[in-house]
Structure 1
Amino acid sequence: MSHAVRIVHKRVQAMAGWSDPGLRGVRLALLACCLALSGLTAADDGRRTRPAFDEATTRALERAARATVGVRATAVDDARSVATLGRQREGSGVVIDADGLVLTIGYVVLEAEQVRIEVEPGREVPARVVAYDLATGFGLLRPLVPLRVEPAPLAGARAATDDALMVTTGGSDAVVGVARLMSQRPFSGYWEYHIEHALFTAPPLPRHSGAGLFNLKGELLGIGSLAVADTLPADDPRSTPGNMFVPVELLRPVLDELLARGTSAPSRRAWLGLNCVEQRGQVRVVRVSEDSPAEAGGVRVGDRIVRIDGADVSTLDTLWKALWTGGGPEREVRLEVRRGDDTHTLRLQSVDRQSTLRRARGI
């Protein structure tokens, strides 16, 4: 690591403790300096060049930081998700239109009874969940009173990213930091989730839920989802921890549908209630949701899934894709599992995940 970059990292670490909104302009000016030092971008001919940090760039980054808000949610009493996510949740979100629509990560507001948006310390406004999308993982919130916040623009589809990016969180302990895009590749989650072109960044951001990832134009590239152990391309043997962001390019095709219906057509798909991990070409069950098709069908923790509906399973993405493309949301699904030295064929009756979600009274 160069001396200049070491200085940048020290400055970024110092910035992480600043939360006084009165310091935000100073903090962003320092951020601009840090990015100017560390943000080397590749020119078309392969040379490395420093990005121009003019007044317009600084204003764009300031707008992006101000558009990032805090999100607090309380789940309904009987929510299934309480077992894994808790009833009280906190995260961030980004204002993306002039009416105050907030884009966040869906699990923060999953099965929420009450939601509040923290625009700045001491100023919270109530909001309602207008969409929760299983397929992308996004959630959308609509404030019940005006936010008076300039929205952040969405980056274009598969937008080229700068070598240095800005990461923001909202709320009373807001943070602005620097990250680098380490890879862009498919991601399969243990909880029956898969997306293409997920964004992986480093260094890791602890408060990643709903955080905003911006390019140097202040355009929103992605929404923070997870802390991950490895952010490098799949064929890289090294391991670099960081975060996974859901790219906003997944939002554009379904935004109108989400606003009209609260979910997208791809989210109406089969669900079994399984948490699985992939290790060395094997997929094993690590958790079975209570009162789920998997529990009813006899799946046990430790089972190795070898086939689904006759298709071989060696990775999470093959398992989930076969589940979703094998028929309607509610159908019989055949799992072949290895349990010790024995092989068992289990017949499960899948359900539409949307039908299992609890909602606030009156919604």
Structure 2
Amino acid sequence: MGKAMAWARRSLMGLLAGAALSAAAATPAPSSAEFDAQAKVLAQANAAVVGVRAVAVEDARSIDILGREREGSGVVIGADGLVVTIGYLILEADHVDLVLERDRVVPARVVAYDIDSGFGLVQALAPLRVAPARMGNPAGLSTEEPLMIASGGETGDLSLARMVSRRPFSGYWEYHIDGALFTAPPRTDHSGAALFNAKGELLGIGSLVVMDALGPGHPRLAGNMFVPVDLLARILPELRERGAARSSTRAWLGLNCVELDGAVRVVRITRDSPAEAAGLRPGDTIVRIDGTAVKSLEAFYKALWRGTPAEREITLEIERSAAAQTVKVQATDRMKTLRRARGI
């Protein structure tokens, strides 16, 4: 662990320097023994971050946006070689490899892809010989606490960061979570990257680069969005047993939308989707869904998912070229549209 320890020592120096700048840092500097012990903890945390390489099936719809070959990171969370990553890396994948070092690649199978949280799970098919990361609790995380972001694989890297906000996040691809973690400065190798605290505890899994890390009504600040691991803790048994949480069984239209000036605007239609079949177009503004007015992505998604069953007719009231229209859309269960990887 010589190289990892050298890295951990440098990182710990940075963390301590960052903490010293915060108003909350009134504690004395650690002794040499305490410093070494903490550096070892950080080295072990970094060792749990691996590279993830995935290849999607040839006819996967997700290739249009994500490409067929994908690369990012994941974190070992189980002694049996279970790895958590961001779900879009392994979406509709039929081949996954875990990259531990330049010359050590371990094949893996997809265990779960969860639409609701955005997490993906893969299982190593050979011993990883890596101690799993310890799970942390993002609930008590302070914006004053120095953090570190670690990516895996051949070009894995680490940097210091701070959480700048924790708030709900709505994605354009019919996705919403509460309590997303936003950090700065940004990392471009964010896909599946690990967010650790100074104790080496895993707090989140990297998803996106964002330009509004501070949130609406604040100055623009580039950063990253992380999916918090407290969302994973409560659904992990379900993911291992079923391949997805039950909350992932919900209506899907195939719309990519943005929230603009208090309105939900369609920017893209997924091919072969219910939205395409219903004749929806980019530029349409969604005014109501099943009679409920919507002015934000969060309100739109929650109204869509609230109804049951997942496969049902949805009534959308839209504006197109300043004219009001009503469109009927036959929603489907998103999980049934995916090209499933073997093993799920």
2:82 corresponding residue in structure 1:
101
Measure, in 1, the Cα distance between the counterparts of 2:67 and 2:325.
Answer: 34
Contact 2:84 2:119 in 1 (8 A): yes
Q: How far is the alpha carbon of 1:296 from its aligned partner? A: 0.6
Q: How far is the alpha carbon of 1:235 from its aligned partner? A: 3.9
1:34 corresponding residue in structure 2:
14
Measure, in 1, the Cα distance between the counterparts of 2:66 and 2:169.
Answer: 21
Equivalent in 49, 63, 66 of residue 85 of structure 1: 66
1:339 corresponding residue in structure 2:
320
- Cα–Cα, structure 1 residues 183 and 362, in superposed 2: closer, same or farther, change >3 Å? closer
Amino acid at match of 2:205: I
Measure, in 2, the Cα distance between the counterparts of 1:82 and 1:357.
Answer: 12
Q: How far is the alpha carbon of 1:216 from its aligned partner? A: 0.7
Matched, 1:151 2:132: yes
- Cα–Cα, structure 1 residues 233 and 286, in superposed 2: closer, same or farther, change >3 Å? closer
Unaligned runs of 5+ in 1: 1-20
Q: How far is the alpha carbon of 1:37 from its aligned partner? A: 1.0
2:182 corresponding residue in structure 1:
200
Contact 1:187 1:196 in 2 (8 A): yes
1:25 corresponding residue in structure 2:
5
Contact 1:41 1:50 in 2 (8 A): no
- Cα–Cα, structure 1 residues 358 and 339, in superposed 2: closer, same or farther, change >3 Å? same
Amino acid at match of 2:165: S
Amino acid at match of 1:218: G
1:218 corresponding residue in structure 2:
200
1:174 corresponding residue in structure 2:
156
Q: How far is the alpha carbon of 1:33 from its aligned partner? A: 1.1
Deviates more, 1:321-330 or 1:149-158: 149-158
Q: How far is the alpha carbon of 1:35 from its aligned partner? A: 1.3
Measure, in 1, the Cα distance between the counterparts of 2:328 and 2:65.
Answer: 26
- Cα–Cα, structure 1 residues 100 and 52, in superposed 2: closer, same or farther, change >3 Å? farther
Q: CA RMSD in A?
A: 1.7
Measure, in 2, the Cα distance between the counterparts of 1:101 and 1:24.
Answer: 22
| Secondary structure of the structure 1 residue equivalent to 2:135 | coil
- Cα–Cα, structure 1 residues 361 and 61, in superposed 2: closer, same or farther, change >3 Å? closer
Matched, 1:252 2:216: no
Amino acid at match of 2:51: G
Which TM-score applies when normalising by structure 2? 0.95
Q: How many residues align?
A: 339
Contact 2:86 2:118 in 1 (8 A): yes
| Secondary structure of the structure 2 residue equivalent to 1:94 | strand
Q: How far is the alpha carbon of 1:56 from its aligned partner? A: 2.6
Equivalent in 100, 106, 112 of residue 125 of structure 1: 106
Contact 1:168 1:176 in 2 (8 A): yes
Q: How far is the alpha carbon of 1:41 from its aligned partner? A: 7.8
Measure, in 2, the Cα distance between the counterparts of 1:164 and 1:114.
Answer: 36
- Cα–Cα, structure 1 residues 157 and 165, in superposed 2: closer, same or farther, change >3 Å? closer
Amino acid at match of 1:38: G
Measure, in 1, the Cα distance between the counterparts of 2:131 and 2:19.
Answer: 26
Which TM-score applies when normalising by structure 1? 0.90
Measure, in 1, the Cα distance between the counterparts of 2:140 and 2:243.
Answer: 26
